Amino acid sequence: MRPLIAILRGIRPDEAVEVCGALVEAGIGTIEVPLNSPDPLASIRAMADAFGDRATIGAGTVLSEAQVAAVSDAGGRIVVSPNMEPSVIRAARAAGLESWPGVMTPTEAFAALAAGATGLKLFPASLIGPPGLSAMRAVLPPEAPVYAVGGAGSGNFADWIAAGAAGFGIGTALYTPGLSAAEVAARARHIVTAYDEAAP
């Protein structure tokens, strides 16, 4: 699977499995349900039950240790946060989950890695653009993956990859509430094709 995280903000449990299936079939194998979605843990549980053997399912907008525990109990295997909170990172790693905290500066990035982060979510990536990431990559450990989220998409994947992005989180370009699974599938195929064309 490609290093793409589908961000399904606003998805409902009754549509979660069908949309998840469309994404997996298109080649996107990591799926995040932000916790400010309707009944997010039910969506995570349903998707993990149906596709947990083929995809990494988890939660976004995870802000506390209690939320990490709830995601783990629901079958989630990845925790994504908009911020860098060491206690959340440590709790996720202790529970055997991937932890992808949001960072914007080298200070936050190094603190996240010291706390055990699996990888770094550059968010919102649009604030510093590929030149900013390139400057950060010059000092970050080469083995630390950085995913660009917010401002990265099919039109500029190549620029971000050249700057050192290892992958991407894609939100509204893939899913917005009210889209059918077929519409999500079409968007996913477009994103995957664009990534494949840009990736080395």
Q: What is the pLDDT of residues 1-19, one digit of tens each?
A: 899 999 999 999 999 999 9
Q: Give me the number of domains the chain comprises.
A: 1
* Euclidean distance between CA atoms 58 and 71, whole angstroms: 7
Neighbouring residues of 176: CB distance < 8 A, sequence distance ≥ 6: 10
Residues facing residue 197 across a β-bridge? none
What pLDDT score was predicted for residue 1?
83
Task: Specify whether the CB–CB gap between 114 and 133 falls below 8 A.
Answer: no
Sheet with 78-80, strands from edge to edge, namely: 98-100, 78-80, 56-60, 28-34, 2-7, 167-170, 146-149, 120-122, 102-103
Region of 10 on the Ramachandran plot (φ > 0 left; ψ -120 to 50 alpha; else beta): left
pLDDT at 200 exceeding the cut of 90: no
Q: For 77-143, where are the E strands, in sequence order?
A: 78-80, 98-100, 102-103, 120-122
The residue from 65, 98, 121, 183 that is catalytic is: 121
Q: Give the tens place of pLDDT for each residue, 141-169.
A: 999 999 999 999 999 999 999 999 999 99
pTM of the full predicted structure? 0.97
Instruction: Give residue 159's pLDDT.
Output: 98
**What proportion of the chain, given as a percentage, has pLDDT over 90?**
99
Whether 98 is catalytic: no
Q: Which domain holds residue 91?
A: 2-198
Condensed to tens digits (0 to 9), the pLDDT of residues 22-81 reads 999 999 999 999 999 999 999 999 999 999 999 999 999 999 999 999 999 999 999 999
Q: Which of 15, 32, 85, 197 is catalytic?
A: 32
Average pLDDT, the chain: 98
Question: What is the band of 121 on the pLDDT scale with cuts at 50, 70, 90?
Answer: very high
Q: What is the CATH number of the domain that holds 141?
A: 3.20.20.70
Task: Give DSSP secondary structure letters for 21-67.
Answer: HHHHHHTEEEEEEETTSSSHHHHHHHHHHHHTTTSEEEEES--SHHH
- Residue 197 is among the residues annotated as catalytic for this protein: no
